[in-house]
Chain A
Amino acid sequence: MIRIALAGNPNSGKTTLFNILTGSTAHVGNWPGVTVDKREGTYRKKDVSAVITDLPGIYSLSPYTPEEVITRNYILEEKPDCVINIVDATNLERNLYLTTQLMEIDVPLVVALNMMDEVKRRGESIDADALAQKTGVPVVAISALKGEGIDKLIQCAVSQAQHPRKGTTVLKDGNLKHLIGDIRIALESLSVDNTLFHAIKLTELDELETSLHPQLVPMVEKFKATFEDDTFGNDFEAFIANARYSYIAENFARALKTSGKQTGLTRSDKIDRVFTNRWLGIPIFLAIMFAVFHITFSENFLFLKAFIPEDWESLSGTAFSGVFGAGAVNSPGVILQSLTGVFTDWLTDTVRGWLSTSPQWVSGLICDGIMAGIGSVLSFVPQILLLFMFFSILEDSGYMARVAFILDRIFRKFGLSGRAFMPMIMGFGCSIPAMINTRTLADEKERTATIRVIPFFSCGAKLPILTAVAGAIVSSFGVSNADVITFAMYLIGIVTAILTVILMRNTSMRGETPPFIMELPAYHLPQFKSLMIHLWDKLKHFIKKAFTIILASTIVVWAAMHFSFDWQYLTDEQINQSILAGLGQLTQPLFTPMGFGSQLGEYGWVFAVAAVSGLIAKENVISTFGTLAACLGAVIGEDPSGVQYVEQMITFTGATVAGLVAFIVFNMTTIPCFAAVASAKGELRKGTFHRTLLFWLVTSYTAATVVYLVLSWWWTVFIVAAVAAAAVWGIVVYNKKHPVRSI
């Protein structure tokens, strides 16, 4: 089977092509650098079968970012049978820059001119044959989005793979070629492959090459001393980069035929005029974020409450009761959530009916243990999907890249670049891909700091904790809207992230602010198909998790709750003597400063147990409440959801609003689920990982304690402020005395 690698600029459509070739459903985003690691798939059609490797998008083969190194090493060391270089035809000049470098490697190469449909739409045309003649490598015009030219591309790649190809260069300067020739001879004597590529990189004094062949550096230095170009002197790096671009400009400008007339503003420009407008940019961003949360979580949709008579109850008790909350219209997210709740409730009742003749513990385990636990998690699926859908749309359309542009100035204040925005916003979906995405950050310290704060961007699995507890606060204590509380909780997470980043960048992670040089992709409409695939994957993942790890956890929790330490079966009324209660009571004092420890009543240990079970999967927190509430013999209303379970917990334990908010804050900022911990371990350097775990514990403990203290006794604000001020003063004084060594 032949091996084909896909290489090209970020956002040039590699992943779309990869998905077509392999029938895979990888996520495609309109953000430069969504693919950050290589990935394989198989292409099968008629008699052709090939292994396709999708390499991360890169602008050049220089050694500065991890993705560039991954691609470079893959092509040089794994030696694929053929490389397909995907070139965004709407952006020919910059894309061909990478092509001129790939051409220098001894590997069969095919150029795929992607997005040709878009070029045509603009009334332009590109002469693929002229390009092929100039470069000496075959060029195939395709449209990955519409699936045009794909078969021809593969046929071409397969036939090219039969013939080995020698690297060619576009550099023409005689003297420089001489030096390159000399280095090649020296490299050949060391029996190195790809001498042309290595020789040119060595001439540029590329960091990777000079460390690989230090003995050849004097040769370059010696030549440098005699070389003198009119504009560049002996600066080879600038000279070579320039030579590549001038070659492209001279030769390929001819291949590109514009329609002649300079069309004024493109559609993208017009959109950008509004979205990144000097005055409107930030308000629009905030409005979009608010709208997303409002549609997903609000129980007072479009603020219609004021228009609805208070005695409106005509729909309660019908299937449409979920549409109206407490005298107001629910948002689509909440409506869907209550409908799911109605369904799981009906299912539980039906099953309870079937089991009416079996022993009490069987129906207890199945209905109160398993079904209550899983049901409380599943009822949040609609809201998670909705939130996820909005973020996908924003990302696919290209708006997220603009947000980085708008917010960079603010991020810089924290010592990060606008690029760190992407992994952080991905954290709202799931921490794991977000942590992997930090590979697009070139600066190691920025990366570590970003990975550490990613869990504070509350992920989909933490959403149920938020919504359920916030909902219970609203109904039990009669305070304002649930969506405002939810939004505020997200904000607290973000604020914690900002504060800790500033703290880290001033203490353990000091260093210069990393650069921000990035492409702004053109806007395009999100693809419906890819959006649906994306949501379907998320749904599948969630369901799979609910029926494996969460199911197993609920069984274990139920068992630990219904057996005493001497393995005696306990009825629901006796759960205070159970194993779980024992363990909970043991750890309970630890949570006292945060308001959900020893000060709570008889059943106060449930919060401790829930928080600890969250370390397995954050969904467990609410499913644990569900199981417990059902066992405590709570009278559950007509549509049981996480909210009601938490209400029961409040009744049984006497938790205060301050304690409940602190509970949310603790869960949001503490050590994430073990899956996220594992990927943090994989992404971080050795040594920083253990400190990261400690960081999460300390942060959550501190943040939750502060929230509890301030909400319980307002005057503690002054103590907190004084301590914070003292800490800031200490850090500032220390940093003045010990300035950062510049690199």
Chain B
Amino acid sequence: MLKKLDEFTVGEKGIVKEVSGEGRIRRRLFDMGVTNGAEVYMRKAAPLGDPIEITLRGYELTLRKSEAACVTVEVQI
């Protein structure tokens, strides 16, 4: 099942399928390791619901939901 990263609930994981978005944000996501085939795990949302924290390539990354919306993920069960 394909899902945008910002729609993830805590504890879900998946494999990145596509990264879209405006050039600068997209590049930044690539550089931080959000590329196709990367495994992501949704750890938590900040107390106010946004940004979110994900585990990726062995480290913790935080990004806003608006930026997470650029990432399409194949959900794994």
Contact = CB atoms under 8 A, between A and B. Distances in A.
Given A405-B51, A412-B64, A246 B37 contact: yes
B7 interface: no
A114 to B, nearest CB: 15
B67 A516 contact: yes
Contacts of A64: 24, 27-28
B45 interface: yes
A244 to B, nearest CB: 8
Contacts, number: 117
A442 B25 CA distance: 11
Interface string B1-39: 000000000000000000100001111111111011110
Interface residues of A, number: 41
A62 B49 CA distance: 31
Contact of A241 (B30, B57, B61): B30
Interface residues of B, number: 33
A738 B31 CA distance: 36
Contact of A97 (B26, B29, B33, B45): B33
B47 A406 contact: yes
A519 B31 contact: no
Contact of A409 (B27, B49, B61): B49
Contacts of B46: 276, 281, 405-406, 408-409
A443 to B, nearest CB: 9
A62 B31 contact: yes
Contacts of B77: none
Interface stretch (A86-94, A176-184, A383-391): A86-94
A572 interface: no
A515 B59 contact: no
B47 A515 contact: no
Which of B36, B51, B58 has the largest number of chain A CB atoms within 10 A?
A: B51
Given A406-B46, A406-B47, A520-B53, A59 B32 contact: yes
A409 B59 contact: no
B61 A517 contact: yes
> Interface SS of chain A: helix, strand, loop or mixed?
helix
Given A238-B19, A246-B37, A516-B63, A93 B47 contact: no
Interface of B is mostly: mixed
Interface string B43-71: 01111111101000111111110010000
B36 A517 contact: no
A238 B49 CA distance: 29
A282 interface: yes
A279 interface: yes
Nearest to B24: A64
Contacts of A444: none
A249 to B, nearest CB: 8
Given A91-B59, A408-B50, A517-B61, A245 B45 contact: no
Nearest to A418: B51
A214 to B, nearest CB: 18
Contacts of B60: 519-520, 522
A242 B17 CA distance: 11
B50 A409 contact: yes
Nearest to A207: B23
A231 interface: yes
B57 A515 contact: no
Contacts of B26: 237-238
Contacts of A410: 48
Contacts of A522: 60
Which of the listed residues B19, B31, B33, B64 has the most CB atoms from chain A within 10 Å of its own CB? B31
B33 A94 contact: yes
B5 to A, nearest CB: 12
Contacts of B33: 93-94, 97, 245
Contacts of A272: 44
A376 interface: no
A520 B58 contact: no
B61 A519 contact: yes
A203 to B, nearest CB: 14
The 9 tightest CB contacts between A and B, nearest first, are A60-B31, A241-B30, A281-B47, A409-B48, A520-B60, A93-B57, A517-B63, A59-B31, A242-B35
Given A276-B53, A409-B50, A516-B64, 11 more contacts: A60-B31, A237-B27, A241-B31, A245-B35, A406-B46, A408-B50, A409-B49, A516-B62, A517-B32, A517-B62, A520-B53
27 contacts: A59-B31, A60-B31, A62-B27, A64-B24, A93-B33, A94-B33, A94-B57, A94-B58, A238-B19, A242-B35, A278-B44, A281-B46, A406-B47, A409-B49, A410-B48, A412-B64, A418-B51, A515-B28, A515-B63, A515-B64, A517-B32, A517-B61, A517-B62, A518-B63, A520-B53, A520-B60, A520-B61
Interface of B: 19, 24-33, 35-38, 44-51, 53, 57-64, 67
